[in-house]
Every structure is written in structure tokens, then in C-alpha cells.
């Protein structure tokens, strides 16, 4: 292959870690995005749109080391270092901290957009992926945390994922434990890595190598056991293990949140895990992730970040969640691969012969929610039927001789009926009914 041919071949492909979406797959993504945004709006959240890229320091100075290492950076024309957004929370926090801090609190925002991370590719993780989510800013109350958790549960159910768990942790419980242990930098890093990786051998090695008072050793050894669905029992054990006021406050916070979730009927979906310390670099209170059967990674994650907005302006407490659109779709399919791409089938193909009454009918059909495609080649009879079947339509109308002919394509052989103007409402009603029955083929009895 010549160098020129190699360049052409590369130019015809997408880079690793990004993807094209089209036909039914793209439609499915847009529908889910729209459904979730509509849900968020009904809960009082207003839309927010932020730039796709920011100054690199805006993101890197507020994210974890891991997030910093995953930024997709590039130079601006003036030499400034820019970066594609790696999450949606930091840009929204920047907006609120610099421009909206005088607005009444709390403020509720919802968003949808692509984010970018330079990561090693694996199942459910691309370098460009789509997030939908919410940010609730201006309330430190447990009710705010509970609202975001309850909304996450409602969003998962709306997305067609009835079985899931919300795994909830509390960063301050672990932070209080670190305060009590008073470790040096290296020991603190080793312990944090062991807990973050959920590595029992690494934790046991740390306990063997580090001399600690018995009460501190017990609290650290039992930390991985503070997880499960027995909420009251876990919180009671955590309360007894608390070594200082920071840990006690974390437990009290979880008690208060769970009380609200119980009143909202959401607590049955919650699992506690006080060893969960997943942190993007700005979480200060609860953290949580959503897990679903058949998917080996989180499909949503969020938490409280009371200090982030204050790095841009006035201090404002906040909590939020981001849901990965691709991961939601994978969870809805229970981990199965998507079906082969296929075009969306119209409900009806119409050959109008450029007649005004035909276009009036088409407008009526679209106004009641039908998907109607016009045959631009003015096919007639069998040729129109063959084209409609190729497109996946269940019916076709031929307006060629001035009086419309309806072709039904749901039988072994197409059948046709001459239509009078009085028949039009019945035709539309039949098509709508057929479409509402889970996109089933048009029923014979629904047609005139």
C-alpha cells in the first residue's frame, strides 16, 4: 500500500474510542436522552448547556489525579492549553460560581452531552461517551442528597432498567478514619489504594506492617464489612466504630438520608458501602453508584461536592449524578450486544402525484403522530408496494389516479382498497392504533 492510500484509508475511519450511531440505534439514544431530560424537568430541573472544551487548568486543578491523566488536551491558537470536558459537573460548577451565584437557592440543573477521557478501551467505556444528569446546588440538607438518589432511581426505571442497586458511601467516614490514624503520606497513599481497589490482601498487609492502637486497628479491619442491604445494622456498627466527630457526623448524615429515602419508597434499592471511596477529586460527602445485572461496571455515579463551586466564587453546597447513556442502553439489553443497525421503518408510504389533497392527507397523518414518507419517484401499484415493503412500512397509499388506493402489506400478498374522503379518519385511526400496539403490524380489523 502506498503512503497516499494509507492516509486515505485512515481518513475514512473513526479514531479509536469513538463511534458513529445511525438509524434505529441513533434513534434509541435520542429517545432515551429526551425521556430522561423530560423526567428531570418534571422534578424542577432547568436545562444547562456548557462548552465542549474548557481551559485545561479549569478541569485539572479540580479533578483527581486519575481525571487529570485522562484529559484530552490541545493548544489554542494563542498558546493556551485547552481540554475537552471530562465530566459535566465541573463546567456547571464554573457557570454557577461565576455567573449564577446570586440566583435564588437551591438551583437545579439538568444536562446532556458528550464527555471525553483518554482511557484504555474496555467494555462500556469509550473515549467519547454521552452523559445525562442533574446538579442540585445550594442545599446541604440530607433531603437534597435523598432527592438526587430518588431521582436516579426513577431515571433508571424510566430507562427500562427495573432491577438495580444504588450503592451509597460516605467520604467523610473514611476521611475521619484517616484523621484518627494520623498516617504519614506514604502510608496514607497505600491504605487509600488498598481501600479504593477493594483489595483485602493489601489491607491485611497494611494492618500487619502498620502499628496501630487496638481500637483504630479494629475500625480499619472492619471497614470492608460495613456494606450491604441491612441499613440499620450497618449504620449501628459504623456508629460504634466511629473514632471521632467526623465519622460520627458521616453516620448521622446517612441515617438522615436513609430516613427520607424510606419515606419516598426508595430505600429498598439502596445498598450501603462505607468502603466506597470512588472520588473524582471533589466529592466531600455521600458518593454513590448504580449497578445493574448483566453489566460489570457502574451505569451511573454521583455524590456531594460542597467545595467545588467555591473554587470559582461563593461557596455553595451541591450534589449531583451523571448517567452514562451507552451504559444505560447496555444495561437495558442486560449486557447483550446491540442488534444490527437498521433504518427506522415509516408507518406509511404515500405516492402523492403532487396533488394538494394528497399532501393534505400526509399533513393530517403526521399531525396524529404517524411517520409518513413520500415516494419521490411517484411509483404506482405493485412497484409502490414493493418499495414500501423494502422500507418496512405496513401500508402504502397510491394517489396516482386522483382517488387514493390503500395497500395493506401485513398479509402474505398485498391487498388494495379504494378510499373515499370519508374513509380518511378511519384509516388514520387504524394506523395510529396499530402503531400504539408496540409497533406491531397493522391489524386487518383496524382498517376500513
How many Å apart are CA 214 and CA 216, to the nearest integer?
A: 5
Any known ligand binding at 120? Answer: no
User: Under DSSP, is residue 54 helix (H, G, I), strand (E, B) or coil?
Assistant: strand
How many Å apart are CA 418 and CA 399, to the nearest integer?
A: 10
Any known ligand binding at 282? Answer: yes
Any known ligand binding at 306? Answer: no
Hey, how many other C-beta atoms are within 10 angstroms of the C-beta on 243? 18
CB neighbour list of residue 73: distance below 8 Å, 6 or more residues apart: 56, 81, 82, 83
Hey, how many other C-beta atoms are within 10 angstroms of the C-beta on 340? 8
Any known ligand binding at 333? Answer: no
Residue 399 to residues 370, 373, 422, Cα–Cα distance (Å): 18, 14, 15
CB neighbour list of residue 406: distance below 8 Å, 6 or more residues apart: 395, 396, 397, 416, 417, 418, 419, 427, 447, 448
Any known ligand binding at 135? Answer: yes
Any known ligand binding at 78? Answer: no
Any known ligand binding at 5? Answer: no
Report DSSP letters for 264-276, one per residue: TT-GGGEEEETT-
User: Under DSSP, is residue 71 helix (H, G, I), strand (E, B) or coil?
Assistant: coil
Asked if 142 and 97 touch (Cβ cutoff 8 Å), the reply is no
Any known ligand binding at 89? Answer: yes
Q: Which of 178, 168, 265 is nearest to 216 (CA)?
A: 178
Q: What residues are designated binding site for L-histidine?
A: 87-89, 117, 131, 135, 282-283
Q: What residues are designated binding site?
A: 87-89, 117, 131, 135, 282-283
Amino acid at each position: 500500500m502506498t503512503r497516499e492510500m494509507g492516509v486515505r484509508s485512515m481518513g475514512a475511519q473513526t479514531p479509536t474510542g469513538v463511534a458513529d450511531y445511525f438509524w434505529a440505534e441513533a434513534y434509541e439514544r435520542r429517545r432515551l436522552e429526551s425521556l430522561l431530560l423530560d423526567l428531570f424537568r418534571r422534578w424542577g430541573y432547568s436545562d444547562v448547556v456548557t462548552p465542549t472544551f474548557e481551559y485545561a487548568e479549569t478541569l485539572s486543578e479540580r479533578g483527581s489525579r486519575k481525571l487529570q491523566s485522562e484529559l484530552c488536551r490541545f493548544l489554542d491558537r494563542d498558546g493556551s492549553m485547552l481540554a475537552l470536558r471530562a465530566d459535566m459537573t465541573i463546567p456547571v460548577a464554573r457557570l454557577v460560581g461565576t455567573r449564577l451565584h446570586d440566583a435564588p437557592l437551591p438551583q437545579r440543573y439538568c444536562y446532556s452531552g458528550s464527555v471525553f477521557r483518554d482511557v484504555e478501551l474496555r467494555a462500556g467505556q469509550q473515549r467519547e461517551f454521552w452523559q445525562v444528569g442533574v446538579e442540585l446546588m445550594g442545599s446541604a440538607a440530607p433531603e437534597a442528597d435523598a432527592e438526587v438518589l430518588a431521582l436516579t432511581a426513577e431515571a433508571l426505571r424510566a430507562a427500562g432498567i427495573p432491577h438495580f442497586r444504588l450503592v451509597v458511601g460516605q467520604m467523610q467516614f473514611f476521611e475521619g478514619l484517616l484523621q484518627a490514624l494520623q498516617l504519614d503520606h506514604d502510608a496514607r497513599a497505600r491504605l487509600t489504594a488498598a481501600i479504593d481497589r477493594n483489595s483485602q490482601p493489601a489491607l491485611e498487609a497494611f494492618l500487619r506492617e502498620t502499628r496501630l492502637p487496638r481500637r483504630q486497628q479494629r475500625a480499619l479491619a472492619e471497614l470492608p464489612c460495613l456494606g450491604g442491604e441491612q441499613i440499620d445494622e450497618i449504620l449501628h456498627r459504623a456508629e460504634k466504630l466511629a473514632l471521632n466527630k467526623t465519622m460520627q457526623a458521616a453516620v448521622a448524615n446517612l441515617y438522615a438520608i436513609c430516613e427520607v429515602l424510606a419515606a419516598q419508597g426508595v430505600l429498598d434499592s439502596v445498598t450501603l458501602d462505607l468502603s466506597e471511596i470512588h472520588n473524582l477529586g471533589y466529592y466531600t460527602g455521600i458518593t454513590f453508584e448504580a449497578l445493574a445485572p448483566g453489566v460489570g461496571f457502574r451505569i451511573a455515579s454521583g455524590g456531594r461536592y460542597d467545595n467545588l463551586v467555591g473554587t470559582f466564587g461563593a461557596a455553595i453546597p451541591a450534589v449531583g449524578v451523571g448517567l452514562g447513556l451507552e451504559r444505560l442502553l447496555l444495561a437495558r439489553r442486560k449486557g447483550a450486544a446491540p442488534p444490527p443497525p437498521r433504518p427506522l421503518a415509516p408507518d406509511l408510504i404515500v405516492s402523492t402525484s403532487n396533488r394538494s389533497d394528497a399532501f393534505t392527507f400526509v399533513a393530517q397523518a403526521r399531525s396524529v403522530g404517524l411517520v409518513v414518507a413520500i415516494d419521490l419517484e411517484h411509483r404506482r401499484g405493485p412497484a409502490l408496494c414493493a418499495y414500501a415493503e423494502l422500507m418496512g412500512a405496513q401500508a402504502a397509499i397510491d394517489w396516482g389516479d386522483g382517488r387514493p388506493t390503500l395497500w395493506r402489506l401485513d398479509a402474505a400478498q398485498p391487498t388494495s382498497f379504494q378510499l373515499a374522503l370519508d374513509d380518511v379518519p378511519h384509516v388514520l385511526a387504524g394506523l395510529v392504533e396499530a402503531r400504539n400496539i408496540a409497533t406491531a403490524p397493522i391489524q386487518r380489523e383496524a382498517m376500513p
